[in-house]
A and B are shown apart, each in its own frame.
Chain A
Amino acid sequence: MVRSRAVPLIRGNSSRLTNPVRAVRSARGAATVRPRGYRAGGACRIGGRKPASGEGSRPLNIFFQQILNGLTLGSVYALVALGLTLVYGILHIPNFAHGALYMVGAYVAFYAVGSLGANYWVAMLCAALAVALLAVLSDRLVFHPMRNSPPLHDMIAAIGLLLFFEAVVQAVWGAEFRRLAPPYPQIVRMFDLVAPAQRLLIIGAAFGLMIALQLFLRRTILGSTIIAMAQNREGASLVGIDATRVSIMTFAISGALAAVAATLFAPINLVYPAMGNLVIMKAFVIIILGGMGSIPGAIIGSMVIGFAESFGAFYVSTDYKDIIAFALLVLILSLRPEGLFPSGVR
């Protein structure tokens, strides 16, 4: 389909022809290349992470696209990983159910837009509220009563939650792949570079939220209670911090962040019951790399993984792009078992 249009564009660049392997790769990479002025609802290819680009043949532009890709992926991962790392400060176990919360967020937004006809932003708000509530409920009903049991039991309970959410969503919406229509299908042009609006939106929103979260945690008393609790539970209780309120707040924030990330990413990806699995595994990789509980570590780790994936997919192999994050983890942990940034909030 689009590929046949893309190939002549590639041929325009003689340097690419000298190496047939590279030419094939760039043709694959430029599968979404569209002619100038192509502006339709489907500007974002289903399931693809390659951006639409008007002049994909220029090496500089291709490079720019990969940076844009890396930033987009990194932003989505950062929102998920931040929630995970905050909850780790309270629970001290990795919340395996976090990926399911991300998935539920995407489905709530999909339902709000598709069946209730809500505006994209209203849908995002609904998703954030619903998932925040779900996260708080899972804390109150499962994790809080189990706070004194061995970590192994908490992890198994989290896995039970993950399986339950996935099965319920599959029972309600089915296992089919679904799509959330992009709210802003336009393509932004600046100088010689082009970028789909949705990607810029993801990056902008994610960085905005990260800054807001940082300000909340560092500049407000309410926010610093979360950090205090993560640093020392008993100490925090001694100075009069209400542990219940802090843990409800942390779970709500982490759920809302996951839902926003899912709603932002859904228009350029697909919505399906297992969509959270890969994202959550990468978020785990990120918080291990960044040091569990560390907020700057989570953001830096997300960007590292995002860029490694976008450049790896383009310059190494698309087939194995999902393995890059895990290979990186295996490599880094083999050399440094304590992670890249062992200190942080904790």
Chain B
Amino acid sequence: MSTTAKIVLALLVAAALVFPFMAPNDYAIYVMALAYIMAISTIGLNLILGYTGQLNLAHAGFMAIGAYTVGVLTVDYGVPYWIAFVLAGIIASVLGFLAGLVSLRLKTHYFSIFTLCVGFIIYLIIEKAEGLTHGTVGIIGIPAPTGIGPLQFTTSITQYYLVLAFLIASLWLMHRIVSSLLGRTFVAIRNGEDLAETLGINLMRSKVLAFVLSTFYAGVAGALYAGFVRFLGPDLAREHHTFDMMAFILVGGIGTLFGPLLGAILLTWLTQSLQFLQDYRMIVFGPLLILLVMFFPQGIVGFYNEQRARRRAAALDDARAKRSVVAPSAKEAQANA
């Protein structure tokens, strides 16, 4: 990592740390923390969509599974929050593993449609299994995360820092994943499944792994959501939440580390400022999504990376041009002599 990147990163973290003291009211802190939670889930979706190239439309369903695990366990069975939290990640990944085993046998749009159906099945089960999930009434009164040692998460500011800590941890983990050989395997699959397979990559195993990791992120984000919002309804599993996350990824930059976070924060605040349009925000978002994929498919971070790569290539070209100018003249000198 270059020094400028390190400085920018440090500035970003500092900005996030001082945000609660700059925020005009508690509500702004709440909205920001919610944007972070959605960003964690979106970072997970980006792994399977952006890096591995599979459009999984059941992502919100897995987030709901994580959230409901926490909700059901803490409210109905009195399980402590953090135990439920760990179980939420595990259950979402296990179900993700099972769903991935079946769905990843299908390619491209077959996979998308299949996961759309999986998401709908998750929603219907949550809505109809009233004995377990309280059905359409939803789960009310989920306890806030309990304190760890001296740390307490009772105020909105402390909860903000808790979510921020998880966000930074998820970004760090994702950075480790995508810069490892495993991450390059995923990108190779996105760029061409046949070629990847010829290179000796086990397609099915890598894809299932990407799917499980992404559902793990969804499960953790869902668990945080349950402890933060403290109310759950079956609507959380609906496909339009997946579509929202897809919009975050596209705006921020598909297949980039910070794209999902940037998109989540930008669009959440845009929605907040269009509050009067709450129900109709899709009149703006729908065409925005279309225009983005038509004219700006790389997103903000992707655009920045592209510009940087172009500058670097231009610098390399310049250097090469200088060298080739020197080389022939030397040859000429030899020939003359």
* CB neighbours of A166 from chain B (8 A): 282
- Knowing A157-B290, A281-B120, A326-B121, the reply to whether A163 touches B53 (Cβ < 8 A) is no
Instruction: List which A46-82 residues lie within 8 A (CB) of chain B.
Output: none
B69-77, B87-95, B104-112: which one contacts chain A? B104-112
Contact yes or no, A163 B286, CB < 8 A: yes
Contact yes or no, B124 A320, CB < 8 A: yes
Contact yes or no, B283 A167, CB < 8 A: yes
Within the complex, the shortest CB–CB distance from B174 to chain A, in Å, comes to 20
Q: Tell me whether A116 is interfacial, beta carbon within 8 Å.
A: no
Q: Tell me whether A288 is interfacial, beta carbon within 8 Å.
A: yes
* CB neighbours of A175 from chain B (8 A): 279
* CB neighbours of B212 from chain A (8 A): none
Q: Tell me whether B243 is interfacial, beta carbon within 8 Å.
A: yes
Among candidates A153, A167, A323, residue contacting B293 with C-beta atoms closer than 8 Å:
A153
* CB neighbours of A190 from chain B (8 A): none
CA distance A130 to B183 in the complex (A): 48
CA distance A157 to B125 in the complex (A): 29
- Knowing A146-B293, A153-B297, A157-B293, the reply to whether A330 touches B283 (Cβ < 8 A) is no
Instruction: List which B99-140 residues lie within 8 A (CB) of chain A.
Output: 102, 105-106, 108-110, 112-114, 116-118, 120-121, 124-125, 128
Among candidates B53, B240, B280, residue contacting A170 with C-beta atoms closer than 8 Å:
B280
Instruction: List which B263-311 residues lie within 8 A (CB) of chain A.
Output: 279-283, 285-290, 293-294, 297
Contact yes or no, B279 A170, CB < 8 A: yes
Contact yes or no, B121 A327, CB < 8 A: yes
* CB neighbours of B106 from chain A (8 A): 333, 337
Binary flags per residue of A316-346, CB closer than 8 Å to B gives 1, else 0? 0001101100110110011001000000000
A/B pair count, beta carbons within 8 Å:
114
Contact yes or no, A156 B293, CB < 8 A: yes
Q: Which residue of A lies closest to B242 (CB)?
A: A159
Contact yes or no, A142 B282, CB < 8 A: no
* CB neighbours of A155 from chain B (8 A): 55, 109, 112
* CB neighbours of A320 from chain B (8 A): 124, 128
* CB neighbours of A323 from chain B (8 A): 121, 124-125
Within the complex, the shortest CB–CB distance from A141 to chain B, in Å, comes to 9
- Knowing A93-B109, A157-B290, A284-B117, the reply to whether A163 touches B102 (Cβ < 8 A) is no
Contact yes or no, A168 B283, CB < 8 A: yes
* CB neighbours of A170 from chain B (8 A): 279-280
* CB neighbours of A146 from chain B (8 A): 293-294
- Knowing A142-B294, A153-B297, A159-B243, the reply to whether A326 touches B120 (Cβ < 8 A) is yes
* CB neighbours of B189 from chain A (8 A): none
Q: Tell me whether B250 is interfacial, beta carbon within 8 Å.
A: yes
Instruction: List which B236-254 residues lie within 8 A (CB) of chain A.
Output: 239-240, 243, 246, 250
A-B contact pairs, 30 of them (CB 8 A): A94-B112, A142-B290, A145-B294, A152-B55, A156-B250, A157-B293, A159-B243, A160-B285, A160-B288, A163-B243, A163-B285, A164-B283, A167-B280, A167-B283, A170-B280, A171-B280, A171-B283, A281-B116, A284-B117, A285-B113, A288-B113, A292-B110, A320-B124, A326-B117, A326-B118, A326-B120, A326-B121, A330-B102, A330-B114, A330-B121
Interface residues of chain A, those whose CB is within 8 Å of chain B, are 93-94, 142, 145-146, 149, 151-153, 155-157, 159-168, 170-171, 175, 277, 281, 284-285, 288, 292, 319-320, 322-323, 326-327, 329-330, 333-334, 337
Which 6 residue pairs across A and B have the least CB separation, nearest first? A164-B286, A160-B289, A167-B282, A163-B286, A160-B290, A163-B282
